[in-house]
Chain A
Amino acid sequence: MSEIRALIVDDSSVMRKIVERTLRQAGLDPLVVCEAGSGTEGLELLKTRQVDLILSDINMPSMDGLEFLRQIHAQNLAPGVPVVMITTESSEEHVKQAIQAGARGYIRKPFTAEQVKERVLPLVHPA
């Protein structure tokens, strides 16, 4: 299986580590992770690095996940790369906003490895 390069954007360093661990538990291995603590930092990283998958929190200071998602598309960074939102916000409206902004998946915190496997794996290993 080829290496998966993932960008994890979350203002919590603990959450970034949990997401990385869960991705590995879900079967994304070998996995190379780069991390960003905000949407702004995530955009800067995408200007210099190529990734296969982006996972982003929504509720972050300075630039939230939805704006990060809009900026990825507006600046044509990471074209075609699937973005999955991982967030505590769970209403239908939030999911709709994320999908409208270009998200390909949505996972609510707290989450299980099974949920991550179900929603992320098909995006990086299409059938």
Chain B
Amino acid sequence: MLLNGVRKAAIANRREGGEIEMEPGMAVSLRESLPQVSDPRNLDASVEEVFQLMLGVQCRRDGAPAARDTESVTAVVGFGGLLSGACVFSSNQATALEIAALMTGMEFHEIDDTVKDGIGEICNMLAGAWKGKVPELAANCGLSVPAVITGRDYRLHVQAPEFQLHHLYRFKESSFDVTIVCDGLQ
């Protein structure tokens, strides 16, 4: 799975959506904030916050790998600006259907456009909540609109990332995983 498309979209969004103007000579770097940016607790807090507020469920970190015996649903939101990379949400079909049901109050039996839309929004909120945990990141990093992929047997590959967080979570009987991958940090 290539992340270049969503990353370019995030950079473009950041330019069109109003690049933050800085005083001449003022340089912002996220390198000094790397320990905060890559703190795994920020991802856990973001997941808990989004699932509690938008779905009304408590999520907990889980060590067991999410079952992938059926079709998977993956949403990707790109980061652009001082940090480039992506937030990737992935779950099996049953979990995606349950999340969409909790978001909308409707029942779903297949991965239709509404389910994909809901999963894309969850990923969007996770990406926004995660970057909002570090003020320098919130102010200097834009988000792309979500892309959603469905299918089987696909893997996420990033060459030489600056850092990567990959956590598994569980709510009720459902599980999913969230990956934050950073392949560029200024």
Contacts and interface: CB of A to CB of B under 8 A. Distances in A.
Interface of A: 11-15, 17-18, 21, 58-61, 64, 66-67, 87-94, 97, 108-112
A46 B78 CA distance: 31
A88 B129 CA distance: 7
A118 B126 CA distance: 23
Given A14-B103, A14-B117, A64 B125 contact: no
A18 B54 contact: yes
16 contacts: A13-B114, A14-B104, A14-B117, A21-B105, A58-B17, A66-B17, A67-B16, A88-B128, A89-B128, A89-B142, A108-B132, A110-B49, A110-B125, A110-B129, A111-B53, A112-B53
B178 interface: no
Interface of B: 13, 16-18, 20, 49-50, 53-54, 100, 103-105, 114, 117-118, 120-121, 124-125, 127-129, 132, 135, 138-139, 142-143, 145
| Among all A-B residue pairs, the 4 with the closest Cβ atoms | A88-B128, A110-B53, A91-B138, A91-B139
Given A12-B117, A12-B120, A18 B20 contact: no
Given A15-B121, A89-B142, A93-B139, 14 more contacts: A14-B104, A14-B117, A14-B118, A18-B103, A59-B143, A64-B13, A64-B17, A88-B128, A90-B128, A90-B138, A92-B139, A94-B139, A108-B132, A110-B53
A109 B135 contact: no
A14 B135 contact: no
A13 B139 contact: no
Contacts of A58: 17
Nearest to A87: B128
Given A14-B118, A18-B54, A110-B50, A88 B143 contact: yes
A38 B20 CA distance: 23
Contacts of B132: 88, 90-91, 108
A14 B100 contact: yes
